[in-house]
Amino acid sequence: MGIINRVEHGLAKAVHGAFAKAFKSEVQPVEIASAIRRAMDDRAALLGHGRAMVPNLYTIELSETDYERLGDYEDELSEDLVAAAQEHADSQGYQPHGPLEVNLIEGEGLETGVFRVRPATSKRGGQDLEPPPAAPARGVPPRVPSGTVVDERPVPPRPAPRTNPSSRPWLDINGDRYPLLGSLTTLGRDDSADIVVDDPGVSRRHSEIRVTTDGPHLITSIRDLNSTNGTFVNGDRISSQRLHDGDRVTLGRTSATFRAGRR
């Protein structure tokens, strides 16, 4: 098939992008994404007919040091975390109580590297705040990594989310969907790539896809990273080129179809 698609690895790559490169020792964005996913799983309430409702608001309390480091990227990081949470909800068949939202705030009494996840439920675009279904009393849930504290107290929501995750572009590779959640996504054979392509004809870091904004529109382009066998769009070898919906991208013997997402 040519693509390594592991759940944990895929989630990490979804929010890795430019953020994890900037934060080597403190809280990593991928840890926040994993904690949100686990909080969602722990609080899924089965309503019958296979429907499971989950909280839609996730407030992340960070230490002063971590908040200062992440603060410059707050808007972009919140959008990527929302998109990763939506992907998890879609894959599990969960129905959030409303639009998903992730907010970063500075918490009290937290040491560097420790953060809290506070799930909450809001209906009708931020009104009628409700706490999520009660969970058994405990400290850190067994499936939450050390350094994470899950706090179930509800918090007041901010305005509606800035971005609809379904509007993000994605790659269709052999029928599998690979969302381009970050502003920069690398493709290659190396395990450090955001999308790992298990193909001997693909370089370790083969190409990168960049998603930028032009007013309300998303602009997507692909650039070859001096790969051995080149990057091709619709059969033509390129160094850098803008992508349009339906374009076929080829790396080695692996092909993908670019989808621009909803407008």
pLDDT at 155 over 50: no
**What is the domain count for the chain?**
2
* Residue 191 belongs to some domain of the structure: yes
Q: Are residues 111 and 179 in the same domain?
A: no
What is the domain range of residue 209? 170-259
User: What confidence tier does 122 reach under pLDDT thresholds 50, 70, 90?
Assistant: low
Q: Are residues 28 and 116 in the same domain?
A: yes
Q: What's the CATH code of the domain at 183?
A: 2.60.200.20
pLDDT at 100 over 70: yes
Q: Is the pTM of this model over 0.85?
A: no
The Cα–Cα gap between 200 and 254 comes to 10
Q: Are residues 114 and 189 in the same domain?
A: no
In the listed set 120, 143, 178, which residue is the last one of a domain according to the structure? 120
- pLDDT tens, position by position, 166-181: 567 889 988 888 888 7
In the listed set 94, 120, 146, which residue is the last one of a domain according to the structure? 120
* Residue 152 belongs to some domain of the structure: no
Dihedrals phi, psi of 35, to nearest 5 degrees: -65, -40
- pLDDT tens, position by position, 41-69: 888 877 656 678 888 889 898 888 888 88
In the listed set 104, 120, 136, which residue is the last one of a domain according to the structure? 120
Phi-psi region of 156 (alpha: psi -120 to 50; beta: other; left: phi over 0): beta
Q: Alpha helix (H) ranges present in the chain?
A: 7-22, 29-42, 64-71, 74-92
Q: Are residues 33 and 113 in the same domain?
A: yes
Beta-strand relationship, 170-173 and 57-62: unpaired
The Cα–Cα gap between 133 and 116 comes to 18
Indicate the range of 3-17, 216-230, 234-248 predicted with least confidence.
Answer: 3-17
* Residue 77 belongs to some domain of the structure: yes
Nearest to residue 59, comparing CAs of 177, 174, 199, 157?
157
- 215/104: higher pLDDT: 104
Beta-strand relationship, 51-54 and 94-96: parallel
